[in-house]
């Protein structure tokens, strides 16, 4: 079950001598807080910033996203299209993230929350003597709308 993340939660994660919640990082974080469930690239974040008249360079956006991923505030996602995306990490500790359904026609990404791999993960962990902390699962196919479009074209 996702946990509602606030800016205060994120400030606590960034508290410490080596990290500061700079105005730029706070602005980047706010973009993700304002768009729950969206999967944004650095370019998407930069475009939103420019659209809202924030003067933050693309390199700063990249550095912020990398740090926030390192701190487990954001999750890095690779949908196999060469574009690195991020989303807010809203999972409770020791809880698996959701999985993704990716349409091969329109590129739409849907989230799938059920974790059906618990037994498989336990088996793999035991057989390979490997402590698994998380997994990601991506399904590639066609969304409902693209299925209809493909049927009409046939």
Q: Which runs of E-coded beta strand occur in 8-151?
A: 40-41, 74-78, 84-88, 99-103, 109-112, 138-141
Tens digits of per-residue pLDDT, 40-60?
Answer: 999 999 999 999 999 999 999
- Those residues of the chain that have pLDDT short of 70 are 1-5, 9-10, 13-18, 91-97
Q: What's the CA gap between 13 and 73, in Å, rounded?
A: 8
Residues annotated within a binding site for Zn(2+): 103, 106, 143, 146
Residue 58: CB atoms within 10 A of its CB come to 14
Binding residues: 103, 106, 135, 143, 146
Q: What is the per-residue pLDDT for 46?
A: 97
- Give the rounded distance of the alpha carbon of 14 from its chain centre: 18
Q: Are 96 and 33 contacting, i.e. CB atoms less than 8 angstroms apart?
A: no
Q: Which domains does the chain possess? A: 1-95 (1.10.10.10), 96-154 (3.30.1490.190)
pLDDT tens string 116-140: 777 888 899 899 999 887 777 788 8
Is the pTM higher than 0.85?
no
Closest CA to 81 of 102, 97, 98, 64: 102
- Residues flagged as binding site for Fe cation: 135
User: Closest by alpha carbon to 140, among 79, 76, 98?
Assistant: 79
pLDDT of residue 2: 47
């Amino acid at each position: 079950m996702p946990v509602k993340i606030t800016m205060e939660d994120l400030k606590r994660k960034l508290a410490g001598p080596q990290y500061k919640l700079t105005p730029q990082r706070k602005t980047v974080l706010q973009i993700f807080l304002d768009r729950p469930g969206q999967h944004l690239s650095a370019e998407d974040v930069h475009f939103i910033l420019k659209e809202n008249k924030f003067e933050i360079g693309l390199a700063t956006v990249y550095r912020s996203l990398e740090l926030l991923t390192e701190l487990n505030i954001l999750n890095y996602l690779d949908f196999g299209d060469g574009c690195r995306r991020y989303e807010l990490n809203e999972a409770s500790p020791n809880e698996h993230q959701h999985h993704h359904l990716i349409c091969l026609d329109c590129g739409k990404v849907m989230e799938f929350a059920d974790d059906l791999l618990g037994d498989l993960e336990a088996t793999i962990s035991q057989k390979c003597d490997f402590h698994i902390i998380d997994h990601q699962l991506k399904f590639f196919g066609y969304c409902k709308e693209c299925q209809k479009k493909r049927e009409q074209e046939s």
